[in-house]
Amino acid sequence: MTDPKQLIKSEAMRLGFSHCGVACNDSLEELRPFYSGFLSRNGHAGMEYLETSFEKRMHPELLVEGTRSVIALLVNYYPHETIPEDDNFIFSKYAYGNDYHKVIKQRLKELINFMKQSFGPMEARGFVDSGNILEKAWAQKCGVGWQGKNTLIINRSAGSFFFIGIILTSLDLDPDEPETDHCGSCMKCVNACPTEALSTPYQLNIPRCISYLTIESKEEIPPDLKSKLNGRIYGCDVCQDVCPYNRFAQPHNIPEFLPSEILKNLRKDDWVALTEPDFDRIFEKSGVKRLGYQRLKRNLR
């Protein structure tokens, strides 16, 4: 009989996932001191969703009763072409196409349906930056990458331009070997960060991160950091662009992640003249729409 784990991995590849790994459900109690300290010193910069349901983050079975296995899946978003930066403002590559939450959620649903059809009734639930999941910790336990000095998941053969999907299931699967750290003495991401948000390797200083400042923060960008954005108006890829492992990155094959012709052709004057109806039309299917027109204009200023 074919190994259930291998069947799941084969179906995951067919659905467009790039990597798939499995871990036994185990508590993340070893991470409790770090995350407790992180929250107590307001390292999460007031993002309340990071402090909710703390125990569920440590124990997945509190999220999905009967969880025995955790499946981590990576979805490549490395673009075929980079939107020109000359005479332009800069968008993070992950935001070129449609909202990744919806795109990946649908694929997770299809994979879960396949699992139920193949192996019978089970508890299973998918997560994409949703719920109370420590995605990167589980990705490393599942062996699909390690959390690098830039705090992102890095895969040895394919780099770091990935979204993470997680499935919690009552299905009992053989675990893969956890991944280990392969950053070594490299400090390229630390040294390249424009705002020194990685001054402590493996720990992101969130209030200084350009992605936080341009996406999550609802406040005006602090004056001492404004000049360091260098034209970035939605997210930042600097720590990934300099990572040596991204020399292995290959363009994705997911049509929904391709940028529209309108987005590719916008230049600085177009952005400055952007109206709210233009914003709604261009980003109708994009996660950028959650940012809102007024905060995008803030970033442009």
Nearest CA to 112 among 12, 1, 10?
12
| 63 located within any domain | yes
CA-wise closest residue to 74 among 190, 157, 7: 157
Q: What is the pTM assigned to this prediction?
A: 0.94
Assess contact for 259 and 96: CB atoms under 8 A: yes
Total number of domains in the chain: 1
Position 268 in a domain: no
The catalytic site residues sit at 129
273 belongs to a structural domain:
no
**DSSP designation for 175:** P
Domain assignment present for residue 152? The answer is: yes
Supply the range of the domain harboring residue 187: 1-259
Give pLDDT, residue 54: 83
The pLDDT assigned to 154 comes to 98
Report the pLDDT value the prediction gives residue 39, as an integer from 0 to 100. 77
Q: Which of 136, 92, 118, 126 is nearest to 240 (CA)?
A: 92
The DSSP string of 83-130 is PP-TTS-EE-GGGSSS-HHHHHHHHHHHHHHHHHHHH-S--EEEESS-
Q: How many CB atoms lie within 10 A of CB 49?
A: 11
Let me know if residue 114 belongs to a domain: yes
Q: Is 269 domain-assigned?
A: no
In a domain, 187, yes or no: yes
Per-residue pLDDT of the chain (301 residues; tens, 9 = 90+): 579 999 999 999 999 999 999 999 988 999 888 888 877 777 666 667 676 778 888 999 999 999 999 999 999 999 999 999 999 999 999 999 999 999 999 999 999 999 999 999 999 999 999 878 999 999 999 999 999 999 999 999 999 999 999 999 999 999 999 999 999 999 999 999 999 999 999 999 999 999 999 999 999 999 999 999 999 999 999 999 999 999 999 999 999 999 999 999 999 999 999 999 999 999 999 999 999 999 999 999 9
Question: Does residue 278 lie within any of the structural domains?
Answer: no
Rounded to 5 degrees, what are φ and ψ at 169?
A: -145, 150
What is the rounded distance in angstroms from the CA atom of residue 176 to the CA atom of residue 141? 8
Amino acid 45: pLDDT: 67
Cβ-contact 250, 77 below 8 angstroms: no
